Amino acid sequence: LAKDNGRNQHQFFNAEMRDRVRNRTDMEHSMRHAIEHEEFELYYQPIYNCITHKVTAAEALIRWHHPEHGLISPAEFIPLAEDTGLIQPIGLWVFRQACAQLRAWKDQGIGSFAISVNISSSQRHLGFNAQVAADIINSTGADPTNIIFEITESMFLESSSEAISWLDQLKELGAQLAIDDFGTGYSSLSYLKQFPIDKLKIDRAFIRDLPDNAEDASLVNAITAMSKSLGLELIAEGVETTEQFKYLHQLGCQNIQGFLFSKPVPAEKLPNVIRQIEDNSYSKSPTDYVI
């Protein structure tokens, strides 16, 4: 009996593994297809500045319109794209698309905000660099000072001199650098003084249970104080409630991103969404803020 069970478990495990491999292979195959057939789209989520009461940036977030499975979230395919190296062509498409959009908005006279683009650590090893970025910036006519590169702490796991010069060269284009998902990585804080960082984005995990959760409140307090003394601009990610907004505003966190203001929207909807946010007079005072 034990033997039978073992065999069954073994067979079940194999079938599951086979499915997983098949799914990965299918997914990889359809990602290649998606690149060639332009099945990707960039959505944009506004980032609100509490001091100027303006939307000063929008984060570009990739969406995949799969012909059979519908809309697939990046959390489902970006990790596999990173594992297979497909993040390189996808990342190039994302950056080119974001730059072309910046240029298009500028031509339409709505060019007063920056676009924040996610760059995976693996893109550095696959050949994305300042020269490649400069070619795309030049060919699209985008203003490089309106580009923010979002990188994660994993970039600093080996704080190599190559990583430093890679980032220095991106900065020399005129772009800004933000640390995404700040506080969730395992790297030391010393990179903050070694690398040319401009902004920290506090991960949603620390915002979710504000203001009631005392530990999260202490951590966000500490991050705010630290960013202030280091001269780094702070962005809170995943702000969904007015209570979270008020709390963060009172702490002195300058920038807010989250569903409270807007979910990520297609490019053509962004100008209207921004107008609505900026026209909302309540957004100027956190004490009577409603949305």
Report which of 113, 121, 110, 101 is spatially closest to residue 176, judged by C-alpha positions. 113
**What residues from 254 to 273 belong to the interface with ligand C2E (CB under 6 A)?**
257-259, 264
Does position 181 bind ligand C2E by CB under 6 A? yes
Name the phi and psi angles at 60, rounded to 5: -80, 125
Which residues have a Cβ under 8 Å from the Cβ of 91 and sit 6 or more positions away? 119, 120, 123, 126, 128
Does position 120 bind ligand C2E by CB under 6 A? yes
Does position 153 bind ligand C2E by CB under 6 A? no
E-strand spans in 134-287?
147-152, 176-182, 199-202, 233-236, 255-256, 265-266
With CB under 5 to 8 Å by kind, the binding choice for 147 among Mg ion, ligand C2E, none is none
Extract the tokens encoding 74. 């990046």
Minimum CB separation of residue 284 from ligand C2E in Å reads 21
Whichever of 107 and 180 has its CB closer to ligand C2E, that residue is: 180
For ligand C2E, the binding residue among 54, 65, 74, 100 (CB under 6 A) is 74
Does position 233 bind ligand C2E by CB under 6 A? no
Kindly indicate which of the ranges 103-111, 136-144, 163-171, 232-240 contains the residues binding ligand C2E, using the contact rule CB under 6 A: 232-240
- The Cα angle at residue 240 between residues 234 and 245, in degrees rounded to 5: 50
- Exposure string over 189-214, b if 16+ CB within 10 A, otherwise e: eebbeebebebbbbbbebbeebbeee
With CB under 5 to 8 Å by kind, the binding choice for 233 among ligand C2E, Mg ion, none is none
SS3 readout for 100-112: HHHHHHHHCCCCC
Helix (H) or strand (E) holding 65: strand 54-66
Minimum CB separation of residue 164 from Mg ion in Å reads 21
Does position 181 bind Mg ion by CB under 5 A? yes
Residues that bind ligand C2E (CB under 6 A): 45, 61-62, 73-75, 78, 91, 94, 118, 120, 150, 180-181, 204, 237-240, 257-259, 264
Binding site for Mg ion (CB under 5 A): 118, 150, 180-181, 237
